[in-house]
């Protein structure tokens, strides 16, 4: 894809459209990087000041429990920002991020992210919408993990995928074993 195409995807995803001056600004502040499959982007608890936009591939966000087991938190798909808001408030990543396949990402510092929020009201509005949808997903996930059977958790997740894709026909975004982790069930149960 490359840096220029990644920036255009970023602009379409969050800004709608921007003038040439804004596009030049984004080209200056965004850094482009390719990460191989299983490459770690950041680790839980690590201090940092960098947020990311996924241009291609798939990223898993996860936490590790005291026994070293991974608990999937979310799967990031192209067109999504990750690692941004927690850094603005805490300066540490609350989860770890790993590439599930070769990925292309744009990165920018939290200062640059903050500047984008201030300069472009449309960007701020799209970010709020995106955050509201993620918040809704996390609240529903917590509710499902607490009170729903594995069957209901799977059905709710499939409904979420249908809603986000805009169609009742879609491809699963990750292998079933990863979905099982996200839903808090064993792959065999799934």
Residue 133: closest CA among 88, 163, 93 = 163
For residue 36, give every residue at least 6 positions away whose Cβ sits within 8 Å of its Cβ, in sequence order, or none.
99, 102
Under a CB-based contact definition with an 8 Å cutoff, are residues 50 and 109 in contact? yes
pLDDT of residue 150: 87
For residue 41, give every residue at least 6 positions away whose Cβ sits within 8 Å of its Cβ, in sequence order, or none.
35, 52, 59, 83, 97, 98, 99, 105
**Tell me, what DSSP letter sits at residue 97?**
E
pLDDT of residue 132: 77
The pLDDT profile of the chain, 190 residues, written as one tens digit per residue, is 899 899 888 888 877 766 777 778 788 889 999 999 999 999 999 998 899 999 999 999 999 888 888 888 889 989 888 988 666 667 889 899 999 999 999 998 878 877 777 877 777 777 777 777 777 877 877 777 778 888 888 888 898 888 877 888 888 888 888 888 788 888 888 8
Fold for 3-121, please state it.
Jelly Rolls (2.60.120)
Point out which residues pair with 185 in neighbouring strands: none
Helix axes 121-147, 176-183, angle to 10 degrees: 80
pLDDT of residue 42: 95
pTM tops 0.85, yes or no: no
Q: Which residue has the tokens 């009742």?
A: 168
Rounded Cα distance, 185 and 176, in Å: 11
């Amino acid at each position: 894809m490359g840096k220029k195409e990644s920036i255009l995807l970023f602009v379409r995803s969050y800004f709608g459209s921007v003038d040439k001056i804004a596009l030049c600004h984004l080209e200056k502040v965004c850094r482009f990087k390719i990460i191989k499959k299983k490459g770690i982007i950041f680790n839980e608890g690590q201090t940092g000041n960098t947020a990311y936009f996924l241009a291609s591939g798939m990223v898993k966000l996860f936490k590790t429990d005291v026994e070293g087991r991974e608990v999937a938190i979310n799967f990031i798909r192209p067109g999504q920002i990750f690692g941004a808001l927690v850094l603005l408030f805490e300066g540490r990543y609350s989860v770890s991020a790993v590439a599930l396949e070769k990925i292309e990402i744009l990165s920018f510092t939290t200062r640059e992210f903050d500047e984008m929020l201030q300069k472009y009201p449309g960007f701020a509005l799209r970010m709020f919408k995106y955050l509201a949808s993620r918040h809704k997903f996390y609240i529903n996930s917590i509710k499902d993990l607490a009170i729903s059977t594995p069957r209901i958790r799977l059905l709710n997740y499939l409904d979420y995928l249908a809603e986000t894709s805009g169609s009742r026909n879609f491809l699963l975004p990750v292998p079933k074993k990863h979905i099982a982790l996200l839903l808090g069930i064993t792959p065999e149960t799934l």
